[in-house]
Structure 1
Amino acid sequence: MTVLNDAANYFAALREALLEAQEQVYIVGWDIHSETRLVGASGRAEDGLPDQLGPFLRALVERRPSLRVNILVWDFVSFYASEREWNSAGKFTAQACGRVRFHLDSTLPFGSAQHQKIVCIDGSLAFVGGLDLTIRRWDTSDHCAESVLRRDPEGRPYPPFHDVQCMVDGEAAAWLFDIAKDRWRAAGQQSDDRRPLKSIPWPPNVPVEAEHLPAGIARTEIVCPAGSSIKEVERSLTAAIRSATRFVYIENQFTSAIKIARDLAEQMRRVPSLRVLVVTPRLHSSWLESQAMQNGRGAFFACFGEAGVADRIRFVYPVSRSGDMDAAVMVHSKLMIVDDRILRIGSANLNNRSMGADSECDLILEAASDEHRDFIASVRRRLIAHFCDLDEQTVAQNEDRLFALLDDVSGSGGAKMLRDVESSILISALATMVQPVADPERPLHLERAASRMWSTKTLIGIVSITVALFGLAIAWSYTSLSGIADAGRISTLLSAYSHSLWGPLFAIAAFVVGGLIVFPVLVLIAATAAALGPWLGFITAMAGVLLSAFVLFAIGRALGRQRLQNLLGRRAGRIQERVVGKGVLAVVVIRMIPIAPFSVVNVVAGASTLPLRDFLVGTLLGMMPGILAMAVLGAQIADLARNASWSSGLLLALAFAGWLGICAGAQFVATWLAGRR
């Protein structure tokens, strides 16, 4: 096996191995991008095939007709849509004659992710670790503060990025191949039943760092044939920690699994000689991650202070300097070394979801000889050294004063160093609400909860309310009540107050009362415009519509709130309302092309997870053209109805399309602003 430090080394080794692939390749990941540049430290390929991953794989299967490439990637939730490649399947499979297959894994419960990062080649070689074959991952181990090669496909630079992958052959590679194939089948895809018989050689340009290490594979799996879950990651982490006596070295993107922190703190309390170094990011890479994980990270840190061992553990983040500019290195790796005896590299973070909600795969290697121990110690020293611009020998000579060495390097003002992470805990209400949803200890299983919650009694109640509302709407149109629902009669009542301050207020109150009894809103709009005149009528009708919509939305929210809380939990329900939907355009369309009475739509929207902001903006944009037309162009519209023609109809259709375009623009702005926040 060999440890591949950072993406430039991994991508170069993977490319060389793929060039020798004969029959089957499995790529299992959290994300993948066809424009990922699969190149080494030079930043370019020298084998005559395309640099980019998608074109490279297509050229590979064209060169070797017997080769099949199967790509399985998580069918991500909408939060990540802005970060993912559009139409990845088409970009990988185009012109591949079916020999490159791409599938989005949607088998996991809501709230869970396919997080494994595995590449297997012919059952002979396998790569496992924290690196996905996607953009904004490539970097060399120099982690320069600025690099012209570290740019995404749109030419935008990104910060230094650190991760670790390992490469194995032998039985470990064969078992990883079987795991990848099982994941492919679990996602509903067909695979070749037999393992490839051809063995491909170890790439000549990749050094073999160790041989004959006992290896174990630890998984978190939540979709199992027997319906149970597999928590080998959590169990093996706990076992390794409880065996530690001297030094634990950790690199991890997230630290929020309190159970793991308590196990480690308790072991440090039992063994006074045990020290721990944790390398983690300074900050999380996105707003959602910071809100979801920062509270957990603070609580993770606090466990060691409570146990009285905080002086023997350091939480640090790497920094690269260029002149006066500091660049924090993004730590994405998931690695642990215990007493230079156990080395684990994989996809599992030290957060709750990696322990029980996501699919994960870690490779664990345990020393069986002094030679193996020397190798694992060398991996640890090399990693620390490359963060501090030191050599491995210097780290080895300062083992007894390692923390002091890190302080010396940090104070020297050199080009690279490890600095202490601030352990402050975010106390914002939003972070408190986001964390249970974003970092759950087990799958949310919303479908199962919904099936228990929506009982026959509940469904009968909802249907009864819906039928009653529709019945009232029909009554105003087709019974003797229709005489009351006359625009002229309502206009006459309002006209008595048209020249006083009370006129607009009475009209707005009529909208609110009318909404409660499902009175036809178009009658109220027409009557208000006729009684108060075009411009005052427009403003009053618009205000009345919005206030009536808000009141009914609030009623629906109150009726549906408890069910939402039962389904998601109180805190999760609140965050669900804030981040799900962005349905401005949907509300606009249903307002412009009403498929249900105004009051019914308001109550149903309130009982859903649609944010109030989107509901009111959509109502404003959707109702405005009709109210404005009725207030200002009432006579002209009536004439159009009496003397319809192709030209007038075309003008009306163009006006409708134009307004829909404006509404779509509002939807884009709302979504973009939400993403920025």
Structure 2
Amino acid sequence: MTDDRPDRMLRAGETCWAIARAGRVAVIIDAADYFATVRDAIQKARHSVLLIGWDFDTRIALDRPDDDAQVPNTLGKLLDWAIETTPGLQIHVLRWNLGAINALGRGTTPLAILDWMTDDRIHFKLDAAHPAGSAHHQKIVVIDDALAFCGGIDMTGDRWDTREHLDTHPHRVRPTTRRPYPPWHDVSTAMDGPAAKALGELARERWRRATGETLTPPTPTDVWPDGLTPLFHDVDVAIARTAPEYDGRPGVHEIEALYLEAIRSAHRTLYIESQYFASRTIADAMAMRLAEPDGPEIVLVNPEAAQGWLEEEVMGSSRAMLLDRIAAADRHGRFCLYTPVTEKGQPIYVHAKVMVVDDRLLKIGSSNLNNRSMGFDTECDLALEASPDPSEDHAIRASILSLRNDLVSEHLGVTQDVLEASLERLNGSLLRAIEALRSTGRSLVPFDAPTISDAERALFEENALLDPERPASRWQTARRTFVGLVPWGRRG
């Protein structure tokens, strides 16, 4: 049933699946805090732990350094400990089946999974309920239907980092080889109340589609993690999804509808963090707003390059082509794509998926600004919205704006107070404030799009094989181009 709220961006049945109340909502920036918080929450679970993800690595250390030797600190051993110490607890882990290929070279991970398969209270399944080449990309953790996490952070390797994003960090290493990996920026959320229960329903439905098994909802308990400070209290939270057409189920495109509604509704500023910028639909919507004489500023934060040569060939060429379209429309100079760097100029990989519309809407989830996230992969985003009446919801508006400024100041390497003083001085212009505060150390760097070759232009027109908008588009392209390339890459 469609929600009749024409003055709202969040409308159940159109731009989201459901809207439910949360007593508390926290935003967790970067995996150091996220991993430690999930570890704390799992220790409080009494009935059910549901882990739904693109990938899991049982070897990863959650707290770094480990401050509690009495409780195991690696993901796999923690789940074993939780079962041993909590009678009646059931743990369900669902991972994308093609993502499991990554586990084959991961030391003890496959052995730990085999061990789980012999336990009658840890249930590990691979999810193959998707079109060929599609990815199950959601990142959801639900505990006792009372606490749910949802965002962009995978509980796997190469994700842990602190908000300092140092050039080197002794704990930012791979679990077995101890080899370092580059800085990594990400964002997730935590919530309780009916919103957490709704995410539990979504996760159990995903389990049912993957396995044919119907899970019984648990009795909610109070498992809010110690030390996790809510950013919002008593707010409605919307759950928006993408799911491809498959096995008699129609496609779900709520996330795409929400992006387009948000771009249409922005008044002053649209701030987005995304792993990719490759969706033509989204770029065209942005271009229309930028062509308006009084349209919004658009600030987009991306990584410098995609991971892996194949992804960069496809996503990188798509980004460059779309930036050409944007530049042609941006006659008023209201768009900039930035990439964050460390103190010594090392690129920080942006894996976060965040959108902030003025001081009115916040969206955090698993979807990127690429075609796959709009219709081919399985995604889950959360959003909350202040009333369109600026005289209402002052606390929500202040919190939305504070989070945006928190993220931007982190990228710039300045305090939030410094950024907000600059915004006040420059009449609220985020672009002008960023330009005023950029430095040669930790900062945001405007992205300089490379010159696109004829071959890359052709790849952009044929990239539906690797970044399709819908399941059918991939196979139409495959028939006329090159079949056999691995379409999932390491995208996370």
TM bin, normalised by shorter chain, reads: 0.7 to 0.9
Change (3 A) 1:111 1:271: farther
One-letter identity of the residue aligned with 2:255: V
414, 423, 432: which is aligned to 2:449? 423
Could you tell me whether the CA contact under 8 Å between 2:321 and 2:457 is conserved in 1? no
Q: Percent identity?
A: 33
Q: Give 1:91's aligned residue.
A: 112
Q: Give 2:80's aligned residue.
A: 58
Q: Secondary structure at the match of 1:398?
A: helix
Q: Give 2:22's aligned residue.
A: none
Q: Give, in whole Å, the separation in 2 of the partners of 1:84 and 1:189.
A: 29
Q: Give, in whole Å, the separation in 2 of the partners of 1:69 and 1:220.
A: 25
One-letter identity of the residue aligned with 1:250: I
One-letter identity of the residue aligned with 1:376: I
One-letter identity of the residue aligned with 1:72: L
Q: Please list, as runs of the form range in 1=range in 2, the aligned pairs for 1:561-640 lying within 5 A after superposition.
A: 568-573=478-483, 576=484
Q: Give 1:341's aligned residue.
A: 360
> What is the deviation of 1:65?
2.4
Change (3 A) 1:223 1:170: farther
Task: Select the structure of larger CA radius of gyration.
Answer: 1
Q: Give, in whole Å, the separation in 2 of the partners of 1:134 and 1:426.
A: 34
Could you tell me whether the CA contact under 8 Å between 2:139 and 2:153 is conserved in 1? yes
309, 314, 326: which is aligned to 2:345? 326
Q: Give, in whole Å, the separation in 1 of the partners of 2:179 and 2:450.
A: 31
Could you tell me whether the CA contact under 8 Å between 2:165 and 2:184 is conserved in 1? yes
Could you tell me whether the CA contact under 8 Å between 2:130 and 2:246 is conserved in 1? no
Q: Give 2:17's aligned residue.
A: none
1:326-371 C-alpha deviation (Å, 9 max, x unpaired): 2110000000000111000000000000001000000011124000
Given the alignment of the two structures, is residue 160 of structure 1 paired with residue 183 of structure 2, yes or no?
A: yes
Q: Give 1:15's aligned residue.
A: 39
**Structure 1, unaligned runs of 5 or more:** 450-565, 581-674
Q: Give, in whole Å, the separation in 2 of the partners of 1:204 and 1:223.
A: 41
Change (3 A) 1:82 1:211: closer
**Structure 2, unaligned runs of 5 or more:** 1-24, 388-392
Could you tell me whether the CA contact under 8 Å between 1:128 and 1:346 is conserved in 2? yes
Q: Give 2:394's aligned residue.
A: 370
Could you tell me whether the CA contact under 8 Å between 2:208 and 2:215 is conserved in 1? no
Could you tell me whether the CA contact under 8 Å between 1:348 and 1:360 is conserved in 2? yes
One-letter identity of the residue aligned with 1:407: E
> What is the deviation of 1:439?
0.4
Q: Give 2:257's aligned residue.
A: 235
> What is the deviation of 1:207?
0.8
Q: Secondary structure at the match of 2:471?
A: coil
Q: Give 1:255's aligned residue.
A: 277
Q: Give, in whole Å, the separation in 2 of the partners of 1:81 and 1:208.
A: 35
Q: Give 1:142's aligned residue.
A: 164
> What is the deviation of 1:384?
0.6
One-letter identity of the residue aligned with 1:210: F
Q: Please list, as runs of the form range in 1=range in 2, the aligned pairs for 1:152-551 lying within 5 A after superposition.
A: 152-153=174-175, 154-193=177-216, 195-223=217-245, 226-270=248-292, 272-309=294-331, 311-321=333-343, 325-368=344-387, 369-399=393-423, 400=426, 401-411=429-439, 413-414=440-441, 416-427=442-453, 429=455, 432-433=458-459, 435-444=463-472
Give the alignment's TM-score, normalised by structure 1: 0.63
Change (3 A) 1:579 1:117: closer
> What is the deviation of 1:43?
2.6
Structure that is richer in strand per residue:
2
> What is the deviation of 1:115?
0.4
Q: Give 2:126's aligned residue.
A: 104
Change (3 A) 1:299 1:431: closer
Change (3 A) 1:310 1:242: same
Q: Give 1:509's aligned residue.
A: none
Change (3 A) 1:29 1:426: farther
Structure that is richer in helix per residue:
1
Greater RCO, 1 or 2 (C-alpha within 8 Å, sep 6+): 2
Q: Give, in whole Å, the separation in 2 of the partners of 1:63 and 1:229.
A: 42
One-letter identity of the residue aligned with 2:159: R
Change (3 A) 1:218 1:91: same
One-letter identity of the residue aligned with 2:227: N
Q: Give, in whole Å, the separation in 1 of the partners of 2:334 and 2:207.
A: 44
> What is the deviation of 1:49?
1.4
Could you tell me whether the CA contact under 8 Å between 2:47 and 2:219 is conserved in 1? no
Q: Give, in whole Å, the separation in 1 of the partners of 2:55 and 2:452.
A: 29
Could you tell me whether the CA contact under 8 Å between 2:299 and 2:336 is conserved in 1? yes
Q: Give, in whole Å, the separation in 1 of the partners of 2:301 and 2:226.
A: 32
> What is the deviation of 1:410?
3.2
Change (3 A) 1:109 1:88: farther
Could you tell me whether the CA contact under 8 Å between 2:245 and 2:471 is conserved in 1? no
Q: Secondary structure at the match of 1:418?
A: strand
Instruction: Indicate the RMSD between aligned Cα atoms, in angstroms.
Output: 2.4
